[in-house]
A and B are shown apart, each in its own frame.
Chain A
């Protein structure tokens, strides 16, 4: 968390955004039923109850990715984070939860804190997560066994770390897109949206 209650620094912003992604990804995985609901536990965050996984492997994976993401957020080299949900039977991409991250690169030079309270940011984050929860009402049901992957769009000149590799954008062939709310820490702005495969019934 940021050291002061009134302002926010680059480091604090990166941590806040990374925390949001951790909870957001967990929420998506719970809401979309990628992992069985009994492997999740309730926690209270942002003044609302959220679900966090208890699956050790998944936990390990998420902490790995989120810590790396935090670094990149601090470096302002990350552009997008995408949660790709793939059908295991057909290897078809069914859903893409895309979080566009706009970094204010000037924050790297000027280290002074920005004028925005954490409370206000958390309020925005809460509304985004609420919306993620609400999307279940219109997203098509995932009837087959699915798995998820996290793609990170970064600047071209970034050195790919060990254990990471380049990937494709994993686009959906015939998709419908819905824009969700966004939030900003004044240093990082996160626009969220979901794209899903258009089904015949729709």
Chain B
């Protein structure tokens, strides 16, 4: 194949070469006109040679090319063969696959054939059914035709009936007209009846009026009689009137007189008023006079008093002169009195102090008396003592005398002894005795002196006691004097007694008051006890935790809470109602008692729904009618299968199922 192509190229090159050769003959010819003829020939030969060489080279190259091509061809042949073998292998495999597929297909075909046979059977059954259906269709068509004929018959009957109806309508109209005329007649008759009735009523009224007028008549007759009587009376009166007229003629004169009298009257009245005024004045004056007289009397009295007072004053002045006090006026007197009172108060105070001192003195006196008594007793005792001591002193003195005598006797004895004996044997003893005796004497002397001292002391004491007694007696005398004075102040004691009594009374009163208070307090305590008060130290109050009060309170609180919540909800509800709308959301939570308004609205809604339903029914009925009419008249029926899709079925279609489907486009 490739070689063929190469040959064509060679041929084309040869052709082109030949054409090239043939062409320069004419072109060179034209060129040779300008060049030389020798040159031309040589050039031509040279050229041919060149061309031959070129052709040779060319052919050689061509040959080489061909050889190469041949080699390539061979190679390609080999490759092609290998490829072919490969292809053969693949094709063999393909073939096998194809065979398998073929077998599959064959089995499928067989199945399909079976199915076909089945379908053919079904088809036959279908066709048979179709035929049967067609037969039934035909039968139905026939029936329909019969029905059509019947319908036409009935239509005719309807027409006839309509005619009849028309006639009947005519008749009815005529009858109605007649009825109307009769009704008009009736009305006129009724009007007449009413007119008659009215007349009757009028007659009745007239009759009644007549009766009443008769009554009136009789009354009037009575009245006339009465009037006649009155007339007679009037005639009598007229006579009187005439008399009166004559009297009346006198009236102007009387009037004049009356005027005059009135004037006089007014004048008199004025005078009366004046007189009354004067009387009042006179009375006033009289009163004044009386008053003045009284005043005069008073004056006289006062003068008398004045004189008396002057006398008194004089007396006062005299008094002042006599007393030497500076009393000229009552103020002075009062001042004096005040001073006196003050003095009196002072004196009283002094008196009180004096009485108190008197009391003190009394006390002192009593004390002193006691003391005095004591002192007297003491004095007596002392006197006794002194007497005793005096006696003792006397005795002692006697003893002293005796002792001195004894001593002297002893001394004499001793001296006699001394003189007689002068012995030294007894002398020491005697001297001792003497000494002893002397000692004793000295002792007795000392004792004596002591006693004397004591005596003197006692005497002194007695003197002092006597002095005391005297002073006491003096005091007693003084006190006695004072006591006499105190007797004068017995009334002071009385006062004291009375004051004490008063105090006692006061205390009694206070006691009573306190008792009362105590009673009141006790009563109060009782009342507190009654009110339920208690002593928290001794008592405590307890109650059951779940008592009815706390339970009731709890319940009440809960209820209040609930009501509050409800109130709040209702408020919100009202607010939302006021705002308008958004009620439906909360409607479930409320079970409001249906108000009248709500009930009305519900009724309206129900009626509206009913109306709507009726309209729907009527509409459906009408549209059905319209559709059937369309179908009957045009033979076409349009159904809406889905939205924007309409099915057109014709009564004249071959099959019942035959239909055209239309769809509304996007536009």
A-side interface residues toward B, CB under 8 Å? 57-58, 61, 64-65, 68, 79-80, 82, 84, 86, 88, 91, 96, 98, 100, 145, 147-156, 158, 160, 163-172, 175, 177, 179, 193, 195
Contacts and interface: CB of A to CB of B under 8 A. Distances in A.
Given A61-B544, A152-B543, 11 more contacts: A61-B546, A86-B549, A145-B552, A148-B548, A149-B548, A156-B538, A158-B540, A163-B545, A165-B542, A165-B545, A179-B530
Contacts of A79: 534, 539
Contact of A82 (B532, B545, B549): B532
B545 A164 contact: yes
A84 B549 contact: yes
B544 A64 contact: yes
Interface in B30-48: none
B541 A152 contact: yes
A164 B536 CA distance: 18
A167 B541 contact: yes
A2 to B, nearest CB: 28
A88 B533 contact: no
A71 to B, nearest CB: 13
B556 interface: yes
B532 to A, nearest CB: 5
A166 B541 CA distance: 6
Contacts of A61: 544, 546-548
B175 interface: no
Contacts of A171: 531-533
B553 A193 contact: no
15 contacts: A61-B546, A79-B539, A147-B548, A147-B552, A148-B549, A149-B548, A151-B542, A152-B541, A154-B542, A155-B540, A163-B545, A165-B542, A165-B545, A170-B532, A172-B532
B539 to A, nearest CB: 5
B550 interface: yes
Contacts of A148: 548-549
Interface of B: 527, 529-534, 536-553, 556
A193 to B, nearest CB: 6
Given A149-B548, A149-B549, A150-B547, A167 B542 contact: yes
Contacts of A165: 542-543, 545
A179 to B, nearest CB: 7
B529, B532, B533, B544, most chain A CB atoms within 10 A:
B532
Contact of B534 (A153, A158, A164, A193): A153
Contacts of B534: 79-80, 153, 169
Contact of A149 (B538, B540, B550): B550
B538 A155 contact: yes
A177 B549 CA distance: 23
A110 B336 CA distance: 89
Nearest to A170: B532
B531 A151 contact: no
Nearest to A164: B542
A168 B532 CA distance: 10
B530 A151 contact: no
B91 to A, nearest CB: 109
The list of the 5 closest CB pairs from A to B, nearest first, reads A147-B552, A149-B549, A147-B549, A177-B530, A167-B543
Contacts of A164: 542-545
Nearest to A175: B531
A154 B547 contact: no
Contact of A163 (B530, B531, B546): B546
A58 B552 CA distance: 12
Contacts of A91: 553
B560 to A, nearest CB: 11
Contacts of B533: 169, 171
B644 to A, nearest CB: 73
A17 B538 CA distance: 23
B548 A58 contact: yes
Contacts of A64: 544
A145 B539 CA distance: 31
A150 B551 CA distance: 13
Given A148-B549, A150-B547, A169 B530 contact: no
B542 A166 contact: yes
B174 to A, nearest CB: 81
A129 to B, nearest CB: 20
